[in-house]
Structure 1
Amino acid sequence: MVRLRWYRAAPPPDLPVRQVHGFLFAPDGRAFLRVDGARHGLPGGKRELEDADPAATLRRETWEEVTLEIGAPRYLGYQLVVDGGTHRYAQVRMVALITRIHPVAPDLDNGRTYRRLLVDPRRVGDLLGWGRRGSRQAAAARQRAVVEFALPTLDLPPDGEV
């Protein structure tokens, strides 16, 4: 059984960071979601040897999966994953501002093409379907993005594909 727990602090030094995912925001205040079939998700994935840090992983994965460029990612927190009671690792969550949107292209890793949505950030927790833990992460990301990037919080454009 897999157990998950959300922390707003940095992961302990002895806990390996295996994955990095990002809550991305457009300058108009909407949040970005990657859509695979009927599942909404965040761009991100596994760290690779050439990735200097979690920010490098997020930049690479965002480009590979959804052909977006992002500004400097800000650390948000991590999710502790305990798999079977013996395997423990961190999934880092970051927040970043979308700086450039390129045409849709297949994921460089698996060849899949994802839909790209910009949505009201208050809907992200529900759309991810991660329950209360996911809603807390999405709310923390929205709060951090508003402060870090001076994003608007009222009169957002309607949801739409990019």
Structure 2
Amino acid sequence: MPDYSWFKQPVPEGLKVKQVYGICFSDDGRVILRIEDGQYKLTGGKPENTETFEQTLKREYIEELNIELKEINYLGYFLVQENDERYAQVRMIAKIKTINEQKADPATGKIYGRELVEIEKIKTCLNYQDEAGNKMIEDAISRAKETFTKSFPYTRR
């Protein structure tokens, strides 16, 4: 079982990044979650070729959910220790620009479910069993409140 540690700093030089996932907010302050096999998940994937983190996230959201993003910001990374391997899983925050008609993911052929979830329910929906995952969610919400305050109704608690 891999061990995860959460960091808000940039990924250290030389540490391989195996995935980029995003916590993406609607204009009314909800988060879009992907539904796969009855479970809520974040959306993202593996960087291809020389893609930046932002390019990877944009591509994955189009491929998996057919959603366009804007105002993408780096949040942090998980340091993953799996057997003798160490690598990073990057997390970003963004705003949803456009939600387009659902279509099949070209990589899997699946049409994933998607749901806009109130920020108060994200932890329950994702059901992370570790402190690092839950801390990342808290940091994403906090950072979105700081970054997107002018356009987000984050007065609810």
1: CA distance between counterparts of 2:74 and 2:156? 27
**Equivalent residue for 2:114?**
116
- Poorly superposed stretches of 4+, deviation over 6 Å: none
Q: Provide the TM-score with structure 1 as the length reference.
A: 0.90
Deviations 1:105-129 (A, max 9, x none): 1111111111111011121122112
Q: TM-score, normalised by structure 2?
A: 0.93
Matched, 1:97 2:95: yes
Query: What secondary structure sits across from 2:87 in the alignment?
Result: strand
Name the CA distance, whole Å, in 2 between partners of 1:93 and 1:144.
Answer: 12
> Is the contact made by 1:9 and 1:77 (CA closer than 8 Å) also made in structure 2?
yes
Alpha-carbon separation, structure 1, partners of 2:42 and 2:144: 15
The question of whether the paired residues in 2 share the 8 Å contact of 1:66 and 1:114 is answered with yes
Write the distance in 2 (CA, Å) between the matches of 1:154 and 1:8: 24
**2: CA distance between counterparts of 1:155 and 1:91?**
30
The share of aligned pairs that are identical, in percent, is 36
Deviation of the 1:50 alpha carbon: 4.4
Aligned letter for 1:152? P
Supply the distance in 2 between the matched residues of 1:145 and 1:155 (Cα, whole angstroms).
14
How far 1:133 sits from its partner (Å)? 2.2
Deviations 1:6-61 (Å, cap 9, x if unpaired)?
1111111010111000000000001110010221111100010041x111100000
Structure-2 residue corresponding to 1:11: 11
Q: Distance in 1 between matches of 2:116 and 2:156?
A: 14
> Which residue in 2 is equivalent to 1:160?
none
Give the SS at the match of 1:35.
strand
Unaligned runs of 5+ in 1: 157-162
> What's the CA shift for 1:146?
1.6
In the TM superposition, what whole-angstrom CA distance separates every residue of 1:87-142 from its partner, at most 9, and x where no partner exists?
11100000000010100111111111111110111211221121332221111111
Q: Which residue of 2 aligns with 1:159?
A: none
Query: Is the aligned partner of 1:61 residue 2:60?
Result: yes
Corresponding residue for 1:29? Answer: 29
The answer (yes or no) to whether the contact 1:122–1:139 under 8 Å persists in 2 is no
Aligned ranges for residues 36-47 of structure 1 at < 5 Å?
36-47=36-47
Q: CA RMSD in A?
A: 1.4
